[in-house]
Amino acid sequence: MPELSVVIVATDNEQRTVLQVLVDGTSVASTVHTCATFPVAASDPVMRRVQAASPDVLLIDIPTDNHPVAMRAIELLRQELPDSAVFAIGSLSQPQVIVSAMRAGAREFIERPTTTTDLLEAFVRLTTAQRRVHKEGPRGKVFSIVNAKGGSGATTVAVNLALALQSAFGQTALIDLAPLGHTALHLNLKPLFNISDATRNLHRMDSSLLESFMTRHSGGLQLLAGTNTPAAIEPSTAEFVRLFDMLVTHYRYVVVDNSSRLDAASRLVANVSECVLLVACTDVASLWSAARVQQYLGETGNRERLRLILNRFRKVPGFTESDAENAAGVKLLWRVPNQYFAISSAIDRGAPVMEQSHTEIARCFSGLAQELTRNDADVKRAAWSLFKSV
């Protein structure tokens, strides 16, 4: 493994010295420069010295009492040194700081106090990834699905949307995060592994391990099946961000079925999603619940990413679509017709309605897939990054 050059930015003198000892102790990296202040502008002398060092890795220590200045520095450094990887160091007890650091462009978030092993593992991940994709390739998009209340149709939408994306564009993965996973039943698959295996192994996850946890559907869709024992999965935020980071470097589209799951994990997935589809029906209880879910997911800054899907849609005299939008507090994106027989027998047989091409319901899900990817062709997705807001 070639030696990596590292620049350390830490305002705390002791921490700067400790980090230098740890970096040099990994024996796969060496410190080429240290900074005691954060760069605040491209023309800053600090920035010029960092650029002159041209490091492989920028190690940024995030002060507990002043993280905004570190976030701005990460953004600036990513802009000015696009070929250097940023590793942020900070406290794991502040999930919002972790998400902000990843969004600002940090590739890794390492816990403070840091150990040589933590750093070594991060350096190895970086060189492995660089070897695989000489240049950072295009990243995929995440669409997550959540229901207003159980039985609204989240799993039905997630499975058929994933199949529609796979058939139109390929390279699609379906991730089942539901409290009890049903997607394998919908697809008539018998997975050997599921999300619990993946989350238990997040600390050592790499792309080949990830691939081994996936189950392939006949048309090419890759499923990370859901849990079959109702138990809370509580991976750390950083581990979860890493899993999704890996998923979007592997797949063009990642569809997540959250069903009724409402916790830190589903909020985090909403944070990294291009669009969060909230599936509700047009009855009072469903729309009331949709408003509550919207509020819960919106609290972490996801409100503008939320879209309403009205399932089992039927025209109700005196009740308009804008009434539904107002009641739920979410903009309507799509309507799925009420087709109880077709959908329930498709689930029972494990043969999703998307496979019955030319039917109204299959056209509806193809249309949803097209709508969600409308701008992708002209954007060409090349410079798109999951953790940069678009």
Ligand X SMILES: Nc1ncnc2c1ncn2[C@@H]1O[C@H](COP(=O)(O)OP(=O)(O)O)[C@@H](O)[C@H]1O
For Mg ion, the binding residues (CB under 5 A) are: 155, 178, 259
Residue 139 and residue 249 in contact, taking contact as beta carbons nearer than 8 Å? yes
What minimum distance in Å lies between the beta carbon of 328 and ligand X?
Answer: 15
Residue 36 and residue 160: Cα distance in Å, rounded? 53
How many other C-beta atoms lie within 10 A of the C-beta of residue 65?
Answer: 4
The residue type of 41 is A
Give the whole-angstrom CA distance, residue 183 versus residue 185: 5
SS3 165: helix
**Partner from Mg ion, ligand X, none binding residue 336, C-beta < 5-8 Å depending on class:** ligand X
Residue type, 239: E
Least Å distance between CB 264 and ligand X? 20
- Contact region for ligand X (CB under 6 A) — 135-143, 146-154, 289-297, 327-335? 146-154
Local structure of 57: helix, strand or coil: strand
Among 340, 358, 375, 382, binds ligand X (CB under 6 A): 340
Q: Does 308 bind ligand X (CB under 6 A)?
A: no
Handedness of CA 209, 122, 239, 82 (dihedral sign): negative
Q: Among 339, 355, 367, 388, which residue sits at the site for ligand X (rule: CB under 6 A)?
A: 339
Residues 17-76 that bind ligand X (CB under 6 A): none
- Regarding 289 and contact with ligand X (CB under 6 A), the answer is no
Q: Which of 287, 347, 354, 372 binds ligand X (CB under 6 A)?
A: 347
Distance, in Å, from the CA atom of 249 to the CA atom of 83, rounded to the nearest integer, reads 17
List binders of ligand X among 91-130 (CB under 6 A).
none
Q: Does 229 bind ligand X (CB under 6 A)?
A: no
Q: Based on DSSP, count helices (H) and strands (E) in the chain, helices before strands.
A: 16, 13
385 makes contact with ligand X (CB under 6 A): no
- Position 352 contacts ligand X (CB under 6 A): no
Of 81, 62, 102, the C-alpha closest to 387 is 102
Binding of residue 156 to ligand X (CB under 6 A): yes
Residue 294 touches which member of Mg ion, ligand X, none, C-beta under 5-8 Å by kind:
none
Q: Is 153 in the site for ligand X (CB under 6 A)?
A: yes
Rounded (10°) CA dihedral 278, 281, 286, 292: 20
Judged by the rule CB under 6 A, the positions of this chain that interact with ligand X are 147, 150-156, 182, 259, 279, 311-312, 336, 338-340, 343-344, 347
